[in-house]
């Protein structure tokens, strides 16, 4: 039996398989945004600090650097977007710094499910309600990677080995109880393992997780498909066992089977977006809403998005805020079931 998570609410059909389904809005909905007129009332007067709350190489870092590059290349902003990495605590270190900069309209940060999961797990005093939602941008999927010469040919091989030897570890770039951990526990329990049988090792970002995979310190790594796509392909040192998408993806991931194709009824979407400091002025929020809406329509963005395997999933500040509230309710139930809420 399966359980499917949606942005509108939770429909329970069992306790094993879990999926998170993002609402993908058509780009046509971007036209006529109410914030456009307001955005003209404020523009940045200096460079914008655009923070990735992790080391280079992970999903937040990829989103920050990709959006910054596209905005600059397309000439959408007069001021520079400066990518800054603030690693630690699965995002908690960066969030603590940002929370102390209330009202600053020149500071943004990339966000995704850990902004909800990490606080729920008790490892951050700040959650999404302490910050200003700007816009949701895309959705991505989880992917499980092993070394290219690994004996594991598919996910079931890996899970059988984990069943026989619970000490085998799987690495991820997010904190315990956060996105990568939840994604891996979800697919493993859907394949028949106990949640306690997943020996998850948290690293400070996707780049560090990959380094430990190549060093043989973990059996596999769970990460975002988008951030992994640049490391896959002919001659790669890593190989993908499966992706959490509902159907096969394109590009270098075209030959990677979904979890469902391997008899594991599980999907998991990784939404990503942008948030700002607490109490950011409404005029600044409107400016950034309009800026990111324009960015999604550019050729430069669409080329980068397709290369990374992302799917546009735009939401305005108000819509994104409501979405985050709904996600907190859904993830609270998941973590409670897994015994990960402290």
Report whether pLDDT(104) > 70.
Answer: yes
How many other CB atoms are found less than 10 A from the CB of residue 94? 24
- The single residue listed with the structure tokens 């902004």 is 115
Could you give the maximum distance between any two Cα atoms of the chain, in Å?
62
| Residue 141 main-chain phi, psi, to 5 deg | -135, 160
DSSP helix/strand/coil, 10? strand
Query: What local confidence, expressed as pLDDT, does residue 342 receive?
Result: 55
Query: What local confidence, expressed as pLDDT, does residue 187 receive?
Result: 94
Q: Beta partners for 111?
A: 273
| Residue 103 main-chain phi, psi, to 5 deg | 85, -5
What is the C-alpha separation between 177 and 180, in angstroms, rounded?
8
- 27 pLDDT tier (thresholds 50, 70, 90): very low
Look at 284 and 37; give whichever has higher pLDDT.
284
Structure confidence by residue, pLDDT tens digits, 210-251 = 999 999 999 999 998 877 877 787 778 999 999 999 988 887
Residue 86 · residue 73 · CB < 8 Å: no
Report whether pLDDT(265) > 90.
Answer: yes
How many other CB atoms are found less than 10 A from the CB of residue 239? 16
Percentage of the chain exceeding pLDDT 90: 61
Look at 291 and 254; give whichever has higher pLDDT.
291
Structure confidence by residue, pLDDT tens digits, 71-84 = 999 999 999 999 99
| Residue 274 main-chain phi, psi, to 5 deg | -130, 135
Report whether pLDDT(266) > 50.
Answer: yes
Convert the chain into a string of H (helix), E (strand) and C (coil): CECEEECCEEECCCCCECCEECCCCCHHHHCCCCHHHHHCCCCCCCCEEEEECCCCCCHHHHHHHHHHHHHHHCCCCCCCEEEEECCCHHHHHHHHHHHCCCCCCCEEEEECCHHHHHHHCCCCCCCHHHCEEEEEEEEEEEEEEEECCCCCCCHHHHHHHHHHCCCCEEEECCCCCCHHHHHHHHHHHHCCCCHHHCEEEECCCHHHHHHHHHCCCCCEEEEEHHHHHHHCCCCCCEEEEEECCCCCCCHHHCCCCECHHHCCCCCCEEEEEEEECCCCCHHHHHHHHHHHHHHHCCHHHHHHHHHHCCEEEEECHHHHHHHHHHHHHHHHHHHHHHCCCC
What is the C-alpha separation between 236 and 224, in angstroms, rounded?
17
- 15 pLDDT tier (thresholds 50, 70, 90): very low
Report whether pLDDT(64) > 90.
Answer: yes
Report whether pLDDT(341) > 80.
Answer: no
Structure confidence by residue, pLDDT tens digits, 84-97 = 999 988 899 999 99
* 4-140+269-338 and 141-262 in the same fold: yes
| Residue 240 main-chain phi, psi, to 5 deg | -90, 130
Report whether pLDDT(178) > 60.
Answer: yes
Report whether pLDDT(36) > 50.
Answer: no
Its CATH architecture, for the domain 141-262, is 3-Layer(aba) Sandwich (3.40)
Of 85-89, 98-102, 307-311, least confident by mean pLDDT is: 307-311
- List, in order, residues 6 or more apart from 172 with CB less than 8 Å away: 179, 180, 181, 183, 184, 200, 201, 202, 203, 209, 221, 222, 223
Report whether pLDDT(282) > 90.
Answer: yes
Structure confidence by residue, pLDDT tens digits, 324-334 = 999 998 888 77
Percentage of the chain exceeding pLDDT 70: 88
Query: What local confidence, expressed as pLDDT, does residue 40 receive?
Result: 60
Look at 286 and 25; give whichever has higher pLDDT.
286
Name the residue ranges covered by the structural domains of the chain: 4-140+269-338, 141-262
Query: What local confidence, expressed as pLDDT, does residue 112 receive?
Result: 93
Superfamily of 4-140+269-338 according to CATH: Bordetella uptake gene, domain 1 (3.40.190.150)
Task: For strands 4-6 and 107-111, give the pairing.
Answer: unpaired
Query: What local confidence, expressed as pLDDT, does residue 217 receive?
Result: 95
């Amino acid at each position: 039996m399966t359980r499917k998570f949606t942005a509108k609410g939770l429909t329970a059909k069992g306790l094993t398989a879990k999926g998170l389904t993002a609402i993908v809005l058509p780009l046509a909905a971007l036209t006529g945004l109410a914030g456009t007129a307001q955005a003209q009332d404020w523009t940045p007067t200096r460079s914008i600090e655009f923070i990735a709350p992790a080391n280079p190489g992970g999903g937040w870092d990829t989103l920050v650097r990709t959006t910054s590059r596209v905005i600059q290349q397309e000439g959408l902003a007069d001021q520079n977007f400066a990518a800054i990495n603030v690693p630690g605590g699965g995002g908690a270190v960066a969030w603590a710094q940002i929370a102390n900069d209330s009202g600053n309209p020149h500071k943004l940060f990339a966000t995704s499910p850990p902004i909800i999961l990490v606080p729920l797990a008790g490892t951050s005093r700040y959650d999404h309600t302490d910050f200003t939602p700007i816009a949701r941008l895309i959705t991505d999927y989880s992917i499980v990677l092993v070394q290219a010469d690994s004996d594991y040919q598919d996910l079931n091989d890996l899970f059988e080995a984990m069943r026989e030897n619970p000490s085998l570890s799987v690495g991820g770039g997010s904190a315990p109880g956060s996105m990568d951990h939840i994604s891996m526990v979800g697919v493993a329990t859907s394949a028949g393992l106990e949640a306690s049988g997943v020996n998850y090792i948290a690293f400070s970002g996707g780049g560090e997780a990959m380094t430990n995979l190549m060093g043989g310190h973990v059996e596999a790594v769970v990460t975002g498909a988008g951030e992994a796509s640049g490391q896959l392909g002919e001659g790669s040192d890593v190989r993908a066992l499966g992706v959490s998408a509902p159907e096969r993806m394109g590009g270098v991931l075209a030959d990677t089977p979904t979890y469902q194709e391997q008899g594991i009824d599980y999907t998991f979407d990784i939404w990503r977006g942008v948030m700002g400091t607490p109490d950011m002025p409404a005029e600044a929020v409107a400016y950034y809403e309009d800026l990111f809406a324009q960015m999604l329509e550019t050729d430069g963005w669409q080329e980068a998005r397709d290369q990374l395997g992302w799917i546009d999933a735009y939401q305005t500040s108000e819509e994104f805020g409501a979405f985050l509230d709904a996600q907190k309710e859904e993830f609270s139930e998941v973590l409670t079931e897994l015994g990960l809420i402290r």
